[in-house]
Structure 1
């Protein structure tokens, strides 16, 4: 079987093709094409197929991670959306939750008001009302509904969102409006709340459905265009896309519900990082994926992805109440721009030079100093190396940029300026990791740092040292780990409905009925994707809370018969989850299940492909060359002669003592002094940080004692 994964990033489009029959892997990177991401994808597919000597019609599986939907939200360039809603509820999207990004600022931008998903003139109402019990209080006014739809058609909206009160209890009115829209305006993109998010919480549901309509037309057109271009190129396999919940969806399902594609790429990077760590024998994982424009940080205790609370799932401060893996993103990447602000403070990011023009050393017209330029100036990126295997570097342009914009401004040496920029970048990423780990009850010293992305291995050891993380793992192809993660997951759909029932004194028949309905729906969806029943796994989840609480916790529910023992098990799991999250539990309180979920998983068989590094070379021949690299030693920036190795020339089990630099097509790994590395059979570089951390600790203790003496 031949499997292809393609991840589109802000700077590069990453590809990996695995030929499982031969046990070989092929990787490739091409510059991204932001104006039309599909152009970069098609170009990369053609080129990697030539590298792998594979015909496009021989590709059996095609998996894709994309930032198209996310970028639409962040750049506020989505569809012209219309909305049909219940009389009296026209302004829910404007009012929101009265939350303010800055509590004490009288002058602040509220994105949901400054950049509304649906303009007020396109938010139209009709007479209808469903009660909280699901009964029809006011019948739908179909005549008024047709009039309002015709108004939206005259306004030339690209998409229509339909959101009625309590439609998650009774969807009759919404379904009828959908039928009328299909009669009056058949070409418009539809986003119907009972199909997108059939659960309670009025504002969040309205926002999510409107957001789906906002990203829908452009995202679905992109998917359809890419699918057509792939077919024209000769690719016969189906196109599958990564979702924000860590599962894969078919192109048809992704085009219908594109909101599930938010954070598509970063999630794939986390999955790939977890797999790499498990291959090397590590369970607790912190992943750091540093690309050209941003750094994505994920924490996976015991190798399990954490899901965000549904009220914390936001994109650009718009609520998107969809299942989303807990990943944080900060503006810190290879293209992050270093500058001196108006107050004279040295800063790096979040502004980025991006793919075009890119860092100064790319010689594409970029004149501002970036993180990549700093690594070039400090020797961490060799002047003769070529990024992504083809892009030459010009160190003199990096030096000019730092001299003009930083060194002269702050009256400092050019290399001190470059080192300062990397220190600031490292500090920003350390803070972000602490936010995701320490502040959520996890000790980084008990974790392994998996560094991915084109720039991750450049910073990994410095960050691990700051956080006292004992081991760093660099995956076999760190620059394309997100693409690798695409090949390491299964087809996944999450079906949800609101229950709002007690587990302490349950209506067992209702709970059974609702779970059965969700399970049947999940099985039907997966069968439509071509899965046999034996390849389908169903998982149950309950969103639980104590009576009187305002928010729920997500709890995995057991399989088997839903009876008293089942209820007690869910209750006990909720108590444990509450204790873990809030350091308290209340066993005497009644437990409610607000929403219930069924996760349908279509299993895709994927075997770990061990690296063939070293198979062509049984003897370690040493470094290809050496170069002077700057490291912080004894609190001073010192120049150290450092050997440079080509990774594909290293046999398995090669041990290297720092300082050392390992180059490969998609990334460069920096191993500082006092660090030891080993190349394992999976192609992972495992770096032992304990000696370096020990020296830092001894130095700190000595300095403290000296201070006490004084």
Structure 2
């Protein structure tokens, strides 16, 4: 029996397989990379699963669990090729998605785009007004719903060929009776359409964000659901009769059925695995404060793990494809910077790198697949940091001459630089872009990078790790055991989790605090929903665990912060503890607090989860001596960031043992990634398999 984690990137699909018993060579964990298939990710996923099963000497029928991190839903939002969506909404509020909050995306720009107007998730002609009205604060029915209008609208949308329909009524988070009635008719009239209601997708306050989230769910829904079902079918046809789980944006895994129903929960499925993998790798070295940067072929994903805890984004920050999405997501920044990022001279004559990427096809120029534009990978080849015969462990041939030609013709000659200066310029610019994003995710949010280890992974990560750590003043660098596969490893190191939310405004401080009956009833209802979902996944009741969160604010504030709730019902005594916790969170995020201000709970969340046995990486044996000659491959000239070219030894990482010390300059090679150790730095091999890189200490 075995479990497989498979993470799809823009260029490569990464896989890790863990056997319950010993495989070839006594190994239990196997890693592999295959090219991604952007036209249909499932092709590359299934091909990779079959390939890693062969490497592990395992019958595909023996795989019991596959955990998948996918970018299908994300790519739909980026490429803007989602479903044609219809919408039923309260009469008089047809243009709410268009009006939004009247915020200018760029306050001081005279030329800006308003994405929710120029690229609406639901076209105006498909927004159908329905006579009905629910009123606050208690959800009373002011105007009964006109079901004949609902039926007529459903038939009209069906005649137009609309493939997804949403129901978004005002104040449905207080009373969803009208939405449920409309959904029943829609499912009767349009049985083949993707149907969802705002009270099912985002049962929270704020109508624009709730409507936008529901619209995004429908926009990505049909294609995402088809992809997940198609993947299940492909796996079954190849004899892989495993339970298929999908990584969700909140760091938990869900079933195909639930993720197909609510694909808005997997919009950040791909990057989430990397942060989980970073926490897992840091814990192996007893390091709790880690800044992760996952640098692949197309993008770089940055996350901060403080005291071993992974942060969840504040709801006001959860924007996908420039549309607000009120779905819980790990706190990540993603920028267009990776090995495939293209360097170019822009229309103003400036030297730019990214965000456009060569992707998997044609890929960097050195791949020899028709690419002619210089990329970050080509720059590393020119600088002698990537060796042609050892790229991807020798499984993939690259041509240095093609890399040199691309850098020379597109960068060096237009800017009047030497070939080496041009290549160094490419690396310097992409490093500056990534360092800025790291500071935005750490310093700008109250975290001092000097207390954190920088963990670079992804195929390109360890080539940039030391330079980035120096740029942001990180404590040191930790390179995980299989950096190119770390995001896939995170898929096998996370938990099964579902999150349920409901807005229940409640004052917890001040003279009018309470009553708490409604909030406690909401917590009980949400816990019951979470338990029901876990039970449906076959999780025994004894294994159910629950985490409770309140989204709080100072009364009068526009947005909330996530605040942990103590166990048990909310009472006058526990309300004081909640208030103290909120003050602390507010001070951490904003640098100040108002101890005498009235605090209000706006939304309650319950996360139901069940722990899954985490991936177990084998410890390295102790080094028998400090001699590294057995791991030395060869020595070649390599150019470092200071512009100096130095004869640099290459070491085989698979032959390094716990306690080995590798002085810089050095390059440590392995199948899935390459680690650069510049002059003046030392790499130390930890028992866990992590490599710790720090500046040499001189007496």
Pair in the same fold by TM > 0.5: yes
1:238 aligns to what? 243
Out of 543, 547, 557, the position equivalent to 1:535 is: 543
Task: Confirm or deny: 8 A CA contact 2:626 2:661 kept in the other structure.
Answer: no
Unaligned 5+ segments in structure 2 are: none
> What is the rounded CA distance, in whole Å, between the counterparts of 1:618 and 1:415 in structure 2?
35
2-structure distance, mates of 1:666, 1:20: 23
Q: Is the 8 A contact 1:480 1:666 kept in 2?
A: yes
Q: Which residue of 2 aligns with 1:689?
A: 695
C-alpha distance in 1 between matches for 2:200 and 2:621 = 48
**Which deviates further from its counterpart, 229-238 or 88-97?**
229-238
Tell me which of 446, 451, 476 is aligned to 1:441.
Answer: 446
In 2, are the aligned partners of 1:613 and 1:649 still within 8 Å (CA)?
no
Deviation at 1:101, TM superposition (A): 1.7
Q: Is 1:630 equivalent to 2:602 in the alignment?
A: no
Equivalent residue, structure 1, for 2:49: 45
Q: Contact 1:24/1:612 (CA < 8 Å) preserved in 2?
A: no
Distance 2:596 2:366 in 1: 64
Q: Contact between 1:614 and 1:651, CA under 8 Å: does it hold in 2?
A: yes
Residues 561, 122 of structure 1: alpha-carbon distance in 2 compared, 3 angstrom cutoff: closer
Partner in structure 1 of residue 160 of structure 2? 155
Q: Deviations over 1:268-299 (max 9, x none)?
A: 10110111111112111100100001111111
Bigger mean CA deviation after superposition, 74-83 or 228-237: 228-237
Q: Which residue of 110, 113, 117 maps to 1:109?
A: 113
Mapped to 1, the partners of 2:461 and 2:333 lie a distance apart of 15
User: 2:93 is matched with which residue?
Assistant: 89
Give CA-to-partner distance per residue, 1:112-141, whole Å, 9 cap, x none: 111110111111011111111211111110
Aligned-pair distance for 1:689?
2.8
Measured after TM superposition, the shift of residue 520 of structure 1 is: 0.7
Q: Does 1:55 align with 2:55?
A: no
- From 344, 349, 357, the equivalent of 2:354 is 349
Give the aligned partner of residue 181 of structure 2: 176
Per the alignment, do residues 588 and 49 of structure 1 end up closer, same or farther by CA in structure 2, a change over 3 Å counting? Answer: same
| CA deviation after TM superposition for structure 1 residue 684, in Å | 1.1
What are the within-5 Å matches in structure 2 for residues 602-681 of structure 1? 602-611=610-619, 620=628, 621-633=630-642, 637-681=643-687
Q: Paired residue for 1:593?
A: 601
State the alpha-carbon separation in 2 of the partners of residues 613 and 183 from structure 1: 64
Query: Which residue does 2:19 correspond to in 1?
Result: 19
SS of 2:521 mapped into structure 1: helix
Quote the residue 1:265 is aligned against. Answer: 270
1:470, 1:690 within 8 Å by CA — same for their partners in 2?
no
TM-fit CA distance, 1:511 = 1.9
Within a 5 Å distance, the mapping from 1:268-667 to structure 2 comes to 268-387=273-392, 389-504=394-509, 505-611=513-619, 620=628, 621-633=630-642, 637-667=643-673
CA offset at residue 267 of structure 1? 1.1
CA distance in 2, matches of 1:389, 1:316: 37
Partners of 2:568 and 2:139 in 1: CA distance: 29
* CA distance in 2: counterparts of 1:312 and 1:366, whole angstroms: 36
Map 1:212-231 → 2, pairs under 5 A: 212-231=217-236
Rounded to whole Å, the distance in 2 between the matches of 1:266 and 1:632 is 28
Distance 1:106 1:464 in 2: 37
Q: Structure 1: how far apart are the matches of 2:431 and 2:130?
A: 54
- Distance in 1 of aligned mates of 2:551 and 2:474: 34
Question: 1:614 touches 1:648 (CA, 8 Å); kept in 2?
Answer: no
Q: RMSD value over aligned CA atoms?
A: 1.7
The 2-side partners of 1:254 and 1:408 are apart by 50
CA 1:384 to 1:616, structure 2 compared with 1: closer, same or farther past 3 Å? farther
1:256 aligned to which of 235, 258, 261:
261
The offset of 1:361, in angstroms, is 0.3
Structure 1 portions without partners, runs of 5+: 696-710
TM-score between both structures, scaled by the size of structure 1: 0.95
CA contact (8 A) 2:626 2:660 kept: no
Secondary structure of the 1:484 match is: helix
